[in-house]
Amino acid sequence: MARKKIIAGNWKMNMTPSEAVKLVEELKPLVATEDADVVFCVPAIDIIPAMEAAKGSNIEIGAENMYFEEKGAFTGEISPAMLTDVGVKYVVLGHSERREYFAETSETVNKKMLKAFEHGLTPIMCCGETLEQREQGVTMDFIRQQVKVGFLNVTAAQAAISVIAYEPIWAIGTGKTATTAQAQEVCKAIRECIAEIYDEATAAAIRIQYGGSVNAATAPELFVQPDIDGGLVGGAALKPDFGKIVNWK
C-alpha cells in the first residue's frame, strides 16, 4: 500500500496564542488537501486555541515535545495525558534543538517514544547529523545509532505507524537544503535500518520525512523521492508558503 505523505509544520518557539489563531485561519484554506496528512506542531500554550481555530479543517494540531513520566514533580513539563486529553495525536520527539539546548539524548527520546505509544500518540522522531559528522563520513553510523536507540523496545506494530524526520542539522534554519540525492540517500538508509530491526513490512509502512529548510521551491523535488514521505517544515510553516508545500504536486 502506498504511504500517505505527512507534511508537518514545526513552529518552534514562535507565535503567541492570538497569533496562532490568526495563522491557522490564514493557512486553513491554503493547506486543504486529501493527499497528505497535515499537522501543525505548535508550542504547548497554542495547542488549544490552534485546535479551536482548525476545527472543521484537515489540520491536525500536534505538540513539539512531552515528558516521559505520567505526572508529578516535573516543573514546566507537559505529560502525554495532557496532550491526549485535548485531542493531540502527534508529538515531535528528539528534535535536534531539544538535543542541543535541553540535553535530550537518544535514551531519553526512547523513553518518550515508549510513553507516547502507551498513550496512543504518534511520535515524529527526529534524527540527523552535524556538518562535522557529514564531513567525517560518519553520517549513517550516527543516524543508525539514533534510530536503533530511539526504537529500543518499540514493537513492530508501533514502529509501522511512527514517523521519522531526517533533519541534517546543518540544513536547519540555514536556507541550505540538503540536495535531493543526499536526502533520499539517508531516508532510504533509515528505512533499511528499520527493516533490519523489524522486517520489510514495517520498513515499507513507516513514514520518513525530510526536514531542513524545506520551502515551496524544494518540496516538489524532495517529495517525489521514493523514500521521502513528506517534510517537517520550520520557517516556511509560518508563512502562506506552507500551503504551496502541502500542495506540492
Catalytic sites, residue numbers = 95, 167
Distance of closest approach, residue 88 Cβ to ligand PGA, in angstroms:
18
Site for ligand PGA in 168-207 (CB under 6 A): 172-173
Region binding ligand PGA by CB under 6 A among candidate stretches 69-77, 104-112, 188-196, 210-218: 210-218
Sign for the CA dihedral angle at 80, 207, 142, 245 comes to negative
CA distance 240 to 72: 40
Distance of closest approach, residue 85 Cβ to ligand PGA, in angstroms:
26
64 touches ligand PGA by CB under 6 A? no
Region binding ligand PGA by CB under 6 A among candidate stretches 42-50, 110-118, 141-149, 212-220: 212-220
| Out of 5, 6, 7, 10, the residue judged to bind ligand PGA by CB under 6 A | 10
CB proximity list for 13: less than 8 A, separation 6 or greater: 43
62 touches ligand PGA by CB under 6 A? no
87 touches ligand PGA by CB under 6 A? no
Site for ligand PGA in 216-245 (CB under 6 A): 232-236
Helix extents (H) in the chain: 17-27, 47-54, 80-85, 96-101, 106-118, 131-135, 139-150, 156-160, 180-197, 200-205, 219-223, 241-246
The number of residues in the chain equals: 249
CA distance 213 to 222: 12
Region binding ligand PGA by CB under 6 A among candidate stretches 17-25, 32-40, 99-107, 211-219: 211-219
